Structure 1
């Protein structure tokens, strides 16, 4: 990836679009937002694949991510909470819990940041 300086931040182009990054939301995505999004969506993608391989009937997955930063240490990201709302038929707490364990173990972004950043993953099931 190549990043070019622009007013208020940096930019890079990908085949699917342009990404503007800045410490100021007026000029682009903030780095901590991209980090949080990477962790959450990587985890969600791995979870989705695992649920598909287990042939579980999942209609939808929504992800809520909450980031905790330490203002005393350069606004360091210390914890990311990821909550999955999974909608489907025939889903049980036990099946999803097992899938979540595999997800955490196989998500490259989660594995890249722990133990420096605590990652907490929770879920709820919505019957279809």
Structure 2
């Protein structure tokens, strides 16, 4: 895998992935885009969400929406690495099994999410979840 980062101006950079996608980063007060650490946090949530959605689909769960709410704590001094992270999954659907959701989150955490598994070596990562029954329309 390869990527390229190019400085634009001020605290703004553009990353280009090997697959040809551009991502804007901002490292300071400009606020033009997420910071690299925000990207790591969001990447962890996305990676795990991909797993959870896939596992729930294979279990024939009637999932309508999956959202992961991410919270993280960072070290007080440089390098300000993540020290704690929580991924809270909120899954909306019809008759979604809490047992299936718990298993999907566990499998992602322990086996499939490469981003979280890489970070887990130095970050205390926890997971939580809830099922929200969809409202009949």
Q: TM-score w.r.t. structure 1 length?
A: 0.89
Higher mean Cα deviation, 58-67 or 7-16? 7-16
Q: Is the 8 A contact 2:69 2:88 kept in 1?
A: yes
Deviation at 1:115, TM superposition (A): 2.1
Q: Deviations over 1:17-63 (max 9, x none)?
A: 53222321524321110000000010011100000111111111111
SS in 1 for 2:116: helix
The unaligned stretches of length 5 or more in structure 1 are none
Q: Is the 8 A contact 2:47 2:113 kept in 1?
A: yes
For residues 5-84 of structure 1, what are the structure 2 equivalents within 5 Å?
5-7=7-9, 8-13=11-16, 18-26=22-30, 27-84=32-89
The unaligned stretches of length 5 or more in structure 2 are none
SS in 2 for 1:36: helix
- Name the structure 2 match of 1:107: 113
Q: TM-score w.r.t. structure 2 length?
A: 0.83
